[in-house]
Amino acid sequence: MPEIRREDGVVREKLSAIFRAEEQRLASSLSQARAGLQHRPSKGQQVEVAVRDFILGHLPRRFDVGSGEVFDRWGAVSDQLDIVISNDDQPFRHGPDQAGFYLAEGVSAIGEVKSRLTRTELRDIAKKGRSVRRLEPAPLQMNEPLSSNISDASRFVESFPTFAIALETSMTLATINEALNAEVPVPAGAPARGNLGLLDALFVLGRGYFVNLADGQGALRMLNPETGETFEGWAYMGPETLLGLFTWLDAVVARRYRWQGVATPYILRSISTDGM
């Protein structure tokens, strides 16, 4: 049998090349929107569609991508969201260009899209994040299998992975880092409900990506070579923006396998309330 040669870095370089091409396509979508559309909201919508298409094309098939509002069984509702990544437990399915409602338990991640990143836009991202953190998905059911570590479960199962992607910015890396710590700071200590940051990751074409490492014990972590300790809080992870987005989503989106449907508690609660 012929010998199979394994060369270090070949697969990584192949993936890097694929995602560099994707970055060029997204940047091109922004240029096309500016050239062909004068109405500002329409430009933003065209860019959002391009980003949703990219994400949908790089997720496992059990996930879908849309936009709209998420609500929980207690009646809390999020702001309008640019990206809602739903899973196969979600009973509401909407077209890729049609905003709709989603049950919290059928949502696996939430994102925002910005054509241009500024401090003002970061504040808007924080506002959306605050509305998301008000939501309370139902806790794990008995004997429910879950793929997540303890640190990530507090953020990504009891709440949702929240991210933002910007197609351009005039901000330097240092300025972005300073703005993140000012506008969407990472609370000290172990993640827990009521002690979660309003944003978990930021991806900026042409600049790279930043990840909220929280207490440093999640699936994605960085080791300080000088001290041997893991970094905490916001960290710059590298220049490959979309490869970073792909990797981050693969690492933090929980794979849950439920034994029951997610809609029944909403209906029973409604019946109980109406009957009082």
Answer yes or no: are the C-beta atoms of 52 and 85 closer than 8 Å. no
Under the phi-then-psi rule, with left for phi > 0, alpha for psi from -120 to 50, and beta for the rest, what region is 234?
beta
Handedness of CA 120, 80, 194, 246 (dihedral sign): negative
User: For position 194, what pLDDT does the model report?
Assistant: 85
Query: Which string of DSSP letters, residue by residue, matches 214-242?
Result: TTS-SSS--B-TTT-PBP-SEEEEES-HH
Buried b (16+ CB within 10 A) or exposed e, 4-21: eeeeeeeeeeeeeeebee
Residue 122, CA atoms < 13 Å, CB-side half-sphere? 21
Cα separation values, 99 from 27, 102, 105, 122, 228, Å: 24, 10, 18, 22, 46
User: For position 271, what pLDDT does the model report?
Assistant: 58
Cα separation values, 194 from 104, 132, 133, 151, 155, Å: 17, 12, 8, 14, 10
Exposed/middle/buried for 113, CB within 10 Å: 0-12, 13-18, 19+?
buried
| 83 contact partners, CB below 8 Å, separation of at least 6 | 48, 51, 52, 55, 65, 66, 67, 109, 110, 111, 112, 113
User: For position 62, what pLDDT does the model report?
Assistant: 92
Instruction: Determine the Cα–Cα distance for residues 136 and 163; give it in Å rounded to an integer.
Output: 18
Beta strands in the chain (DSSP E): 64-71, 81-86, 100-103, 107-114, 146-147, 162-166, 201-204, 208-212, 234-238, 255-256
Q: What stretches in the chain show pLDDT beneath 70?
A: 1-8, 36-44, 142-148, 269-276
Chain mean position to CA 113: 10
Buried b (16+ CB within 10 A) or exposed e, 207-220: bbbbbbbbbbebeb
Nearest to 30 by CA among 165, 130, 180: 165
Answer yes or no: are the C-beta atoms of 51 and 83 closer than 8 Å. yes
Under the phi-then-psi rule, with left for phi > 0, alpha for psi from -120 to 50, and beta for the rest, what region is 263?
alpha
Instruction: Determine the Cα–Cα distance for residues 141 and 3; give it in Å rounded to an integer.
Output: 48
User: For position 272, what pLDDT does the model report?
Assistant: 55
User: What are 74-104's pLDDT values in tens digits?
Assistant: 999 999 999 999 999 999 988 777 899 999 9
